[in-house]
């Protein structure tokens, strides 16, 4: 990606941001439906509930939350449902994280370094219930399944990060009312570069049987 400042000054380049969300037929590798979502949609997160047929995305340039859901006729639609901060200041939402019970959506805004919590119990009407300053800039947020731990990184892209600014990973605990910082890893101080994304894996995801077992194989039973 080119230098962010250069890009903001390049009129033609600014027209070339993605402005669609596409529902794909993965077998035919063709689009089923192309929905106009202007303003550079970045991340998509779909609700977990078995009957919750909807997803959220946020548009980085226009700073809005968009809901993508199926209407009564089975047609997928995209509609903007909330503003994030003050869009005219380009807070630039980047990563979002949906809670396992589909009631909360964490939204990070890169430019102002904040994280915001939206109540999405009514997906058509998200409303912000909390915000906190994480750093000069913030990129991704990863949540534990129970929603109590939230990890944050700072780096969006090498060429887009603020030239002066801290680079770190932080862990916060969410107690239901506010975020309490638990630790910070300063990437610059430790000469680790810039942290972009986190992955939380589990060995047991790859195999249904017990992974670490004291019993001989023939007696393994599944619960």
Partner 1 sequence: MVKMLGLIFACFSLFSEAVATDKFPVNLQIPLASGYGVLPYELPAAGTYALPPLGVAHDGQVLDSAGQRISLHEVFGGQYILLSFIYSTCNDVNGCPLSSHVSYQLKAEMRQNALLADNFKLVSISFDPQRDTPAVMKLYAENFKYAGKAGDWQFLTTDSVASLAPILDSYKQDIQREYSLDGQQTTDFSHILRVFLIDPEHKIRNIYSVRFLHKDAVLNDIETLFMQAGMKGFAADNEAKILRQPSKNGFGPGDNKQGYETDAYVTRSEALNHRQGRFADLRALVNQPPLGLPPIPNNDALDLTTAKITLGRRLFYDRRLSLNETFSCAMCHIPEQGFTSNELSTAVGLEGRSVRRNSPTIYNVAYATKLFHDGRESTLEQQVWGPLLARNEMANPSVGHVINKLKSIPDYAGLFEAAFSGKSPSMETVGAALAAYQRSLLSANSAFDRWYYGKDANALNQKQKTGFTLFTQKAGCATCHVIGERSALLTDNQLHNTGLGYATSMHIPGEKRLVQIAPGVTVEVDQAIIDKVGAPKAADLGRYEITQNPEDRWKYKTPTLRNIALTAPYMHDGRFSTLGEVVRFYNEGGITNPLLSPHIRPLALDALEVEALVAFLQALTGDNIELLVADAFAAPIGDHRRQDQQ
**Out of 71, 164, 175, 177, the residue judged to bind partner 1 by CB under 8 A:** 164
> Which two three-digit tokens encode residue 65?
């939350």
Beta bridge partners of 98: 105
Backbone angles phi, psi at 161, to 5 degrees: -60, 155
Give the neighbor-by-neighbor strand order of the sheet with 104-109: 93-98, 104-109, 114-119, 127-133
| Degrees, nearest 5: CA angle 43-129-71 | 50
Considering the complex, state which of residue 8 and residue 129 has its C-beta at the smaller distance from partner 1. 8
Residue position matching structure tokens 């509930």: 49
Q: Is 211 in the site for partner 1 (CB under 8 A)?
A: yes
**Out of 47, 61, 67, 96, the residue judged to bind partner 1 by CB under 8 A:** 61
Map residues 36-55 to x or -, x wherever contact with partner 1 holds by CB under 8 A: x-xxx---------------
How far apart, in whole angstroms, are the C-alpha atoms of residue 167 and residue 183? 14
> Which of the stretches 24-32, 45-53, 145-153, 167-175 binds partner 1 when contact is defined by CB under 8 A?
24-32
Q: Is 72 in the site for partner 1 (CB under 8 A)?
A: no
**Out of 2, 129, 192, 198, the residue judged to bind partner 1 by CB under 8 A:** 2
How far apart, in whole angstroms, are the C-alpha atoms of residue 150 and residue 141? 7
Considering the complex, state which of residue 35 and residue 185 has its C-beta at the smaller distance from partner 1. 35
Q: Is 12 in the site for partner 1 (CB under 8 A)?
A: yes
Dmax over CA atoms of the chain, in Å, equals 67
User: Which residues in this chain contact partner 1 in the complex, by CB under 8 A?
Assistant: 1-6, 8-16, 19-20, 25-31, 34, 36, 38-40, 59, 61-62, 87-88, 90, 111, 158-165, 203, 206-209, 211-214, 217-218, 220-223
């Amino acid at each position: 990606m080119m230098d962010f400042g250069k890009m903001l000054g390049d009129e033609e380049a600014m027209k070339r941001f993605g402005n669609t969300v596409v529902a794909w037929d993965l077998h035919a590798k063709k689009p089923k439906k192309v929905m106009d979502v202007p303003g550079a949609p970045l991340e998509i997160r779909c609700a977990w509930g078995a009957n919750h047929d909807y997803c959220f995305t946020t548009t980085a340039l226009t700073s809005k939350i968009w809901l993508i859901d199926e209407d009564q006729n089975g047609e997928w639609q995209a509609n903007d449902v909330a503003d994030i901060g003050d869009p005219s200041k380009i807070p630039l939402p980047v990563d979002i994280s949906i809670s396992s019970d589909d009631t909360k959506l964490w939204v990070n805004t890169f430019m102002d370094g904040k994280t915001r919590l939206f109540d999405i119990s009514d997906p058509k009407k998200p409303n912000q219930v909390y915000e906190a300053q994480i750093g000069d800039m913030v990129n991704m947020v990863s949540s534990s399944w129970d929603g109590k731990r939230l990890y944050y990184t700072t780096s969006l892209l090498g060429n887009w990060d603020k030239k002066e600014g801290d680079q770190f990973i932080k862990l916060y605990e969410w107690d239901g009312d506010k975020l309490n910082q638990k630790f910070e890893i300063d990437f610059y101080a430790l000469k680790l570069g810039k942290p972009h994304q986190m992955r939380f894996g589990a060995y047991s995801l790859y195999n249904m049987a017990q992974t670490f077992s004291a019993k001989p194989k023939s007696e393994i039973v599944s619960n």
